[in-house]
Amino acid sequence: MATVLQFPANISTLNNYNDLYPDWTQREVSTGTTIMAVEFDGGVVMGADSRTTTGAYIANRVTDKLTPIHERILCCRSGSAADTQAIADAVTYQLGFHSIELDEAPLVQTAASLFRDMCYRYREELMAGIIVGGWDPRRGGQVYTVPVGGMMTRQPVSVGGSGSSYIYGYVDSNYRPGMSKEECLKFTAGALSLAMERDGSSGGVVRLAVISEQGVERQVILGNQLPKFSTV
Amino acid sequence: MATVSVCQYHRGGFSFENCKRNALLEADINKLGLSSPAARKTGTTICGLVYKDGVVLGADTRATEGMVVADKNCSKIHYISPNVYCCGAGTAADTEMTTQIISSNLELHSLSTGRPPRVATANRMLKQMLFRYQGYIGAALVLGGVDCNGPHLYSIYPHGSTDKLPYVTMGSGSLAAMAVFEDRYRPNMEEEEAKRLVRDAIAAGIFNDLGSGSNIDLCVITKGKVDYLRPHDMANKKGVREEKIYGHPVTGNYRYKHGTTGVLTKTVTPLNLEVVEESVQTMDTS
Domains of chain B, with CATH numbers?
A: 41-234 (3.60.20.10)
Q: Please give the helix or strand (H or E) that residue B131 lies within, else none.
A: helix B119-132
pLDDT at B180: 97
Taking each helix axis as running N to C, give the angle between helix A81-102 and helix B119-132, from 0 to 180 degrees, rounded to the nearest 10: 110
pLDDT in tens, A14-57: 444 444 555 666 667 776 799 999 999 999 999 999 999 988 89
Strand duo B167-170 + B46-50: pairing: antiparallel
Q: State the architecture of A28-221 in CATH terms.
A: 4-Layer Sandwich (3.60)
Interface check B88 vs A, CB under 8 A: no
CA distance A115 to B252: 74
**Closest Cα partner for A159 from A127, A129, A198, A203?**
A129
CA distance B172 to B210: 9
Cβ distance of A80 and B161 shorter than 8 Å? yes
pLDDT at B7: 60
pLDDT at A105: 96
CA distance B39 to B91: 7
| Active-site amino acid positions of B | 44
Nearest to B23 among A8, A21, A62 (CB): A8
Whole-number Cα distances in Å, A75 to A119, A199, B53, B206: 14, 21, 34, 40
3-state secondary structure of A171: helix
**Strand order from edge to edge, sheet including A157-160:** A157-160, A35-40, A43-48, A206-212, A215-221
pLDDT in tens, B56-101: 999 999 988 888 888 888 999 999 999 999 999 999 999 999 999 9
Interface check B26 vs A, CB under 8 A: yes
3-state secondary structure of A79: strand
Question: What residues in A contact B132, CB-CB < 8 Å?
Answer: none
Interface check B20 vs A, CB under 8 A: yes
Average pLDDT over residues A204-224: 96
CA distance B50 to B56: 6
Residues of chain A with pLDDT > 70: what percent?
87
Cβ distance of A63 and B159 shorter than 8 Å? no
Question: What residues in B contact A114, CB-CB < 8 Å?
Answer: none
SS3 content of chain A, % helix, strand, coil (to 5): 30, 30, 40
Q: Please give the helix or strand (H or E) that residue A88 lies within, else none.
A: helix A81-102
CA distance A97 to A119: 19
CA distance B63 to B43: 6
Weakest-pLDDT range from A4-13, B208-217, B218-227: A4-13
Domain boundary assignment for chain A: 28-221
Cβ distance of B135 and A15 shorter than 8 Å? no
Taking the whole predicted model, whether its pTM rises above 0.90 is answered as no
CA distance A39 to A131: 12
pLDDT in tens, B182-211: 999 999 999 999 999 999 999 999 999 988
Interfacial residues of A (vs B; Cβ cutoff 8 Å): 3, 5-8, 10-12, 14-15, 18-22, 25, 28-29, 52, 54, 57, 59-60, 62-63, 80-83, 85-86, 89, 94, 97, 125
Contact between A133 and A143 under an 8 Å Cβ cutoff? The reply is yes
CA distance B170 to A57: 12
Q: Which of residues 138-157 of B touch A (CB under 8 A)?
A: 140, 155, 157
CA distance B231 to B115: 32
Residues of chain B with pLDDT > 90: what percent?
64
Contact between A58 and B165 under an 8 Å Cβ cutoff? The reply is no
CA distance B36 to A14: 9
Mean pLDDT of chain A: 89
pLDDT at A6: 43
